[in-house]
Structure 1
Amino acid sequence: MTEERNVLLCDLTHMGQKIASDCFPYGIGCLAEYLEAHCSFDVKVHLIKFPNDLYDTIHKYKPRMVGFTNFIWNFDLQRTMAAEIKREFPETVIIFGGPNFYVEESEQERLLRDNPVIDFYIEGEGEIALTALYECLHASDYDLQKTKETPLPSVRTILRDKFISYPLADKLTDLSEVPSPYLSGRMDEFFEKNLMPLVQTTRGCPFSCAYCVEGQSYYNHIRRHSPDFIRAELEYIAERATGNKQIFIADSNFAMYEEDEETASIINDIQKKTGFPYYIHVAAGKNQKQRLLKVARLVGGKMRLSGSVQSLDPEVMQNIRRSNISSNDLLELADDAREIGANSYSEVILALPGDSLEAHMHTMERVINAGFNIVLPWTLLLLQGSELASLSAKEKFNMNIRYRVLPRCFGIYKYGDKTIYTGEVEEACVGSDKMSIDDYLECRIFTLTTALFYNDRLFGEIIELLKPLGIATFDWLMSIHKMRDSFPPSILNLYDSFKQCTLDELWEDREELYSYLKDPENIEKYISGELGMNVMYHHRAEAFINHMDELNMVAFKCAHELALAQNTDLGDIDQFLKELELFSKLRKDRLFDLDLEFDQEFTYDFLTPLASNSWDLRHAEQLKGKYNIHFAHEASQKESIIEQKKVFGSDVVGLAKVLSRIHISKMYRTASISQAQ
């Protein structure tokens, strides 16, 4: 095959701290399959995931056209590598595409002028547009001028110093036109890398959330793969996923549609035969609670159920076009999820238009008291391609904009003899007219309190024993938050560090931050973890690894004080809570030390309420006895943790990522009675 008929598609991931994007490059795999199937002449497409493989692949195939994805987590890496290709092979045509692209034409033009290495940008879905562009390039013998003059669908480019924007291509109406990159064997090489398989059963989203790229009307058209296609892909993956046994379903609203029930049944069949997938990462759907629960049951509870409200403030919800999603249904999801053994979480976005300290804390109170296993308050990121990232929205809502480095998205790479220093920058809103920077910091610090003491039901025993006493979970959490100045020094230092890191990570100028990341000494600091960590995950991991004893002490001290303050007739509960604190600690302390086991004698039967999730201080006397309890990880728990440590590493940076990926409450040591009297 001639060199010009080799095409290279790149979806590069940063590798500075192990791996940043650990999923299969399914998107470019689909583009490759479509291009090879629908191009009017033979073409061979090659995929690249890892930056240090690029140079050798370019020299091996010498493609006339190279395509790059554009996501928030790899844009600078992609454009930097593209520039190296252009420097060495000036005639190579560089194409970019992906959702990290502004909706306003003035901003699209600025991006292309700031990055002249990009010859063409494809907006929206890429299959039809990329094929048309490639055929035009080939027909013109890769004449850029002629190709730019041709009105090709979805293409944005600069022609004779003028920005050109052609109408968007029609979207695919039948996803069967895209052959599976798994069934063709194209993805096989990535199973050997211990990456997480990624699939997509449904394209499109019916909602119009202003903070999301898919909130644009362009994405409202829903299309699905057939059940036969889905089964074939999943069975193929299950046969080969011997390492990473998790899967990412890249649907925007999985389990919201009737067809998703059939997909869940397929997964159930495969789970029974192979044990795959062990866990499913997915953005669960909205407005169909019963269907979502049915799907979760079918997959054995091996997925997170999301009740992501973003905000419950009426003004905020109106500003972000979120009023067509039932908040009540989302809030009711937590208890239902617990009944079927599924992990539940709720996402809240801080500093949305109209948000304030009071509005944010009111939302947090409602979602915490609803009982979700995990509550994740995110800072508002202004995603290029979303409505809120537009210049008009920033001005309308008087957003206080800052820039920060994406965690793990940086590194040092080689392109031949050239050393590449690169890192990714995200745009964040940290306030507005109604939220000062001090309010933002207070909200972020409460996020740390939530992460340390609430998420993953780290102290589920406390939550459940306070309920019968009429003490709300949020009140207990807030009592912890308010007493933080009297925390043990190790935890107090953790809070001080978190606050300082939260401030230090914010930059006022995007280009200054990009320049800072090009300095070798600075990049080394990011790679070592001195700079650039995910501030929340890092401090949580630090607490989990080194300070679980102190966390236990604080959590139980607050619970004890609240219980006695509101209920004077409990009798002597000191011994019960003291032993329960130890019981809790032995299940969770040094969680990643998989060979660590404990034997401990207790004078209360804690296993009975643990099994039923029914804790009641008023009935503590009924649990008295003599029990020798053994604490140890089960083999399946060890296997899951070891798999994730292989991917992300065993240092604090890696374990912070692991904590975000596993169902932590199912990783606590199993407690069993070895002897009872």
Structure 2
Amino acid sequence: MVIEQPGQTFIPVESLNARTFGHGIRAAAIGRPLVVFLAHLHSTTGKNLRVTVPLGMTYVHSYLKARFGDAIQIKQLATTQQINEALNEQVPDVFAFGNYSWNTALTNAVIGVVKQRHPKVVVAVAGPNIPTEKPIAQAGLRRNQAADFYISREGEHPLANLVETCLGLADPSDVKGTVVDGCYSLTQEGLILQGDPLDRVGVLEEIPSPYLTGLCDDFLANPEFIPLLQTSRGCPYRCTFCVAGHDWWSKLRAFSVERVKEEIDYIQARTSNPLLRIADENFGILPRDVEIAEHIRKVKDTFSYPSVVQVYTDKHLTKNVKQVTLLMRDLIPLNISFQSLDKQVLKNIKRVNVKDTAIEEAAAFAREHSLVLSTELIFGLPGETIDSFTNSLDKVLDHRFDNVVIYALNILDQAEMAFAEYREKFGLKTRFALSENGYSEYDSVQTFEMDELVVATSTIPEQEYLRFFKFIFFFNFALFYGWLRELVFFFETNGVRATSVIRSMLADPEQCPTLAEFASRFLTGHRAMMRDTREEVAELIRELAESQPEQVTDNQFGAMRYQYAVFSDLFTEGRFAEVVHEFAQSGLRLHRELTGEAPSDSFRAQLDVITQLQIQSFIPLHEPVPETVVLESGYDLVGWKNSNFRQPLADFALVEPARFSLRIEGYQHHERLWDARGNDDIRRIYLRSFASTNANRRRHLELCEESPQA
């Protein structure tokens, strides 16, 4: 046990006369069950939320109940309304909160109210946002003294130690000011107490399944909650932008395959949400993950659930990842998250260096099996430049990735990138903005969750950094959502870089007025949300809540959310076809400049076909449309697509024109959207759809059955 005093290093605490308690207590010294409340809060103020089953809270619940049985009484709470109702019925002895980047401010506000009304309640906060580095812990705990105990990383063992300590006391509140292993605490004198650190849960089967014990039933019955499945814990990688990059998380531990299968069956039988999210950092890293994927395939084929699986597979295209992707080919893409392809940048962020041969192997595997190939890149990583980032984009386009999403660099509290020495080394300058689902109201208190966004580095000045967000906005429009995918690859196969087309469009607003308007709208709004301090952001949102409450309740904050909002504006204003034509004409101008010749009639005919394909592939969400529409072409569009757009469309000319169908996959899902329109305006329909899933936003191209084979 150690204590840390202001201005001093951590030192032993023999002089504190800390109580020592035995283990294995099964009866409360207070003569009744110890009452424990568990809370995992999310905002309920805004609309269009994306909420998962609070699995971490239910893991803790199931572990505590298994360890202490009838000696404790537990309630689990997911909203502030539930907290108010529970506190009206009884006052807990221990109140533990899950602390994450999306609920820190709300959690602190609730704790403040609880402590004011019931000062004897023992409050603990656990989660990945709790500091583990001593200097950060010192500053953080003294800045925010709301809770009595803080638990970083896994919460099961430390919280059990706290509960066991309370069980041995005639008055559980006497635990305050003592040392509990696995916890930090703060004395009234400002001393930081630290119990002995605890190792991971070594055998995950110690934690009974919260699904199979019924602890998640209420969440599964609520369609707002996406089922969350965890098959393993740990990550062997060291990425500096990720909270899982710490050595503590490096050891992989797994739940048994049979248990995971039973959980999948249980979820399928009870969920009201068509999605499934897998929480593993690297699904497919273990050979047994293939067996889990086989079971998901079986459930999907039998019960048509899930409709989409949201998951990050391992960062290497291993045999396991290949098998997992093939088994769930209609549920997940083949995703290789590069983040950057610049060798020095990858070194700076301690990311695995991806070899060109590995990229080509992934592309070849996707082509061979007709898989959707996707990747992610993060703009503004340490050492990146505009040119190096654009080179990375060109490289993934060379390999014909179907979906490419660009994320803005966001500093997470406990990632290595958040530490002062790392920021200084790479010249990271940041500003703050309200995060997605970041506004809440509780007991007349407004709370604000913040994103810390990088706006400059030692290699990208601030103005240049921010201007590039116009490019990101349109690139995501074109490639992540795929609304211009065929046009992108049409020009790529004819020697015109898509990145060059986008940059030329942004540089010439007179030639591309619609794109210029919406890209400027995005950048203006994005910049307007950012402030130098958290306090300035809070003041901004307070003003908006008064003057433009719909902007707050519609949840248009966070870089990706605001991007969705501008996309929704574009669609609801009926401007989509204008952007398609602007891209086509800009590419045509660049092609003329590169070749020095006017485009041939054949080239123009090809461009016209692809332009019509892009427009007709779009699925409007505000009004019912046919499941299938037909497009006639003198080129084998399906053959071109199946070749992964590796050759010019001219190589796929047909002797006789053929008819191609553009079909909506998952048509029933869209029918439900149309049926649920109610009194929502068109814009809110798009916003709600973006909030649920990014899948099935385009029609699927097929050869019509009555057409001769191309």
Distance, in Å, in 1 between the alignment partners of 2:668 and 2:370 is 16
Distance, in Å, in 1 between the alignment partners of 2:479 and 2:665 is 24
CA contact (8 A) 2:631 2:662 kept: no
1:509 aligns with 2:510: no
- Residues 157-199 of structure 1 show CA distances to partners (whole Å, capped at 9, x for unaligned) of 3353211222321211111110011001111111221121001
1:60 aligns with 2:89: yes
Query: Mean alpha-carbon deviation: is it higher for 211-220 or for 386-395?
Result: 386-395
- Residue 209 of structure 1: aligned partner: 239
1:412 aligns with 2:441: yes
CA contact (8 A) 2:491 2:587 kept: yes
- Residue 437 of structure 1: aligned partner: 462
Find the residue that maps to 2:282 and give its secondary structure: strand
Q: For 1:41-190, list aligned pairs within 5 A.
A: 42-144=71-173, 146-158=175-187, 160-190=189-219
1:427 aligns with 2:452: yes
1:540 aligns with 2:567: yes
Find the residue that maps to 2:481 and give its secondary structure: helix
Distance, in Å, in 2 between the alignment partners of 1:644 and 1:337 is 36
Letter in 1 for 2:479: Y
Q: How big is the shift at 1:673?
A: 5.0
1:456 aligns with 2:481: yes
Query: Mean alpha-carbon deviation: is it higher for 464-473 or for 441-450?
Result: 464-473
- Residue 554 of structure 1: aligned partner: 582
Letter in 1 for 2:579: L
Distance, in Å, in 1 between the alignment partners of 2:351 and 2:671 is 36
User: Which one of 509, 520, 524 corresponds to residue 496 of structure 1?
Assistant: 520
Distance, in Å, in 1 between the alignment partners of 2:146 and 2:677 is 36
Q: How big is the shift at 1:217?
A: 0.5
CA contact (8 A) 2:40 2:98 kept: yes
- Residues 562-593 of structure 1 show CA distances to partners (whole Å, capped at 9, x for unaligned) of 55555668543434433442343122152553
Find the residue that maps to 1:169 and give its secondary structure: coil
User: Which one of 298, 323, 340 corresponds to residue 311 of structure 1?
Assistant: 340
Find the residue that maps to 1:122 and give its secondary structure: strand
Q: How big is the shift at 1:263?
A: 1.3
1:642 aligns with 2:658: no
The percent of aligned pairs where both chains have the same amino acid is 21
- Residues 246-301 of structure 1 show CA distances to partners (whole Å, capped at 9, x for unaligned) of 11110011112212112111212222221222211111111244321211111234
Matched residues, number: 669
Distance, in Å, in 1 between the alignment partners of 2:34 and 2:496 is 68
Q: Normalising by structure 1, report the TM-score.
A: 0.89
1:249 aligns with 2:274: no
Query: Mean alpha-carbon deviation: is it higher for 376-385 or for 665-674?
Result: 665-674
- Residues 375-426 of structure 1 show CA distances to partners (whole Å, capped at 9, x for unaligned) of 222222111111111122222322212111002321334xxxx333222112
Letter in 2 for 1:285: D
Q: How big is the shift at 1:371?
A: 2.3
Structure 1 residues 17 and 326: CA distance shift in structure 2, 3 A: farther
Find the residue that maps to 2:407 and give its secondary structure: strand
Find the residue that maps to 2:456 and give its secondary structure: coil
Structure 1 residues 640 and 432: CA distance shift in structure 2, 3 A: farther
Find the residue that maps to 2:438 and give its secondary structure: strand
Distance, in Å, in 2 between the alignment partners of 1:446 and 1:634 is 30
- Residue 260 of structure 2: aligned partner: 230
Distance, in Å, in 1 between the alignment partners of 2:274 and 2:444 is 35
Distance, in Å, in 2 between the alignment partners of 1:359 and 1:372 is 18
Find the residue that maps to 2:38 and give its secondary structure: strand
CA contact (8 A) 1:104 1:390 kept: no
Letter in 2 for 1:590: P
CA contact (8 A) 1:349 1:377 kept: yes
Distance, in Å, in 2 between the alignment partners of 1:403 and 1:473 is 32
Distance, in Å, in 2 between the alignment partners of 1:19 and 1:599 is 30
Find the residue that maps to 1:283 and give its secondary structure: coil
Find the residue that maps to 2:309 and give its secondary structure: strand
Structure 1 residues 309 and 607: CA distance shift in structure 2, 3 A: closer
Structure 1 residues 662 and 129: CA distance shift in structure 2, 3 A: same
Q: For 1:516-531, list aligned pairs within 5 A.
A: 516-517=540-541, 520-521=545-546, 524=549, 526-529=551-554
CA contact (8 A) 1:452 1:543 kept: no
Structure 1 residues 670 and 207: CA distance shift in structure 2, 3 A: closer
Q: How big is the shift at 1:603?
A: 6.1
Find the residue that maps to 2:264 and give its secondary structure: helix
Distance, in Å, in 1 between the alignment partners of 2:154 and 2:126 is 9
CA contact (8 A) 1:564 1:570 kept: no
CA contact (8 A) 2:487 2:610 kept: no
Distance, in Å, in 2 between the alignment partners of 1:593 and 1:374 is 26
- Residue 13 of structure 1: aligned partner: 42
CA contact (8 A) 1:3 1:61 kept: no
CA contact (8 A) 1:373 1:456 kept: no
Q: Normalising by structure 2, report the TM-score.
A: 0.85
Structure 1 residues 196 and 79: CA distance shift in structure 2, 3 A: same
Letter in 2 for 1:539: V
Distance, in Å, in 2 between the alignment partners of 1:248 and 1:225 is 16
> Over aligned residues, Cα RMSD in angstroms?
3.3
